[in-house]
């Protein structure tokens, strides 16, 4: 599980929708915002239902991801590699590129699931818009 999951980041024990983001280096804020908007639309959620953005810890240098989290006023969760790997078995899609680069079937799905906690469930498998992927997960039920 991510060291700090989405419910912790929101400061509450309620269910939270997490957008997991995977991207190529240098993805722009516009590209990241576009894929999140497309994912939310496809899943039937308004933007205000989103509670956090998650991405692999090594993507912390990607200004585009941070800019979109800031624009939306959401916590940005950086998921360590062991947590991505732990969530890999719950991923629904498989990308050869993700497997080769990160060792997980889907970076976006693994990030969303790991940040959502051990009981998180995938609401929307990864979709791609340009060089960015997004998956949506819901944190486990509140205790």
If DSSP states are collapsed to H, E and C, what string results for 56-75? EHHHHHCHHHHHHHHHHCCC
Average pLDDT over the chain reads 89
CA 38 to CA 138: how far, in whole Å?
17
What does the pLDDT average to over 99-120?
Answer: 93
pLDDT at 11 over 80: no
Helix, coil or strand: residue 109: helix
pLDDT at 1 over 50: no
Yes or no: say if 124 and 135 are a contact pair by the CB < 8 Å rule.
yes
pLDDT tens, residue by residue, 69-83: 999 999 999 999 999
CA 80 to CA 91: how far, in whole Å?
16
* Predicted local distance difference test score (pLDDT) of residue 5: 53
Yes or no: say if 95 and 76 are a contact pair by the CB < 8 Å rule.
no
CA 62 to CA 64: how far, in whole Å?
5
Looking at the domain that runs over 6-138, which CATH code has it been given?
3.30.420.180
What confidence tier does 65 reach under pLDDT thresholds 50, 70, 90? Answer: very high
- Which residue matches tokens 């940040």? 115
Please give the C-alpha separations between residue 82 and each of 56, 110, 136, in angstroms, as whole numbers.
10, 11, 20
Going from N- to C-terminal start, the domains of the chain cover 6-138
pTM over 0.95: no
What does the pLDDT average to over 110-139?
Answer: 96
What does the pLDDT average to over 16-43?
Answer: 96
- Which residue matches tokens 């624009």? 71
Residue 11 CB-density burial (10 A; 0-12 exposed, 13-18 middle, 19+ buried)? exposed
């Amino acid at each position: 599980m991510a060291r700090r999951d989405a419910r912790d980041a929101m400061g509450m024990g309620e269910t939270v929708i997490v957008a997991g983001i995977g991207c190529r280096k240098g993805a722009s804020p516009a590209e990241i915002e576009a894929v999140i908007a497309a994912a939310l639309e496809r899943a039937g959620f308004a933007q205000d239902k989103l509670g956090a953005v998650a991405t692999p810890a090594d993507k912390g240098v990607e200004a585009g991801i941070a800019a979109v989290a800031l624009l939306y006023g959401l916590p940005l969760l950086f998921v360590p590699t062991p947590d991505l790997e732990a969530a890999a078995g719950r991923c629904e899609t498989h990308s050869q590129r993700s497997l080769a680069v990160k060792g997980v079937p889907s970076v976006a799905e693994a990030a969303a699931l790991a940040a959502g906690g051990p009981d998180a469930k995938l609401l929307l498998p990864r979709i791609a818009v340009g060089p960015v992927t997004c998956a949506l997960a819901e944190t486990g039920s509140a205790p």
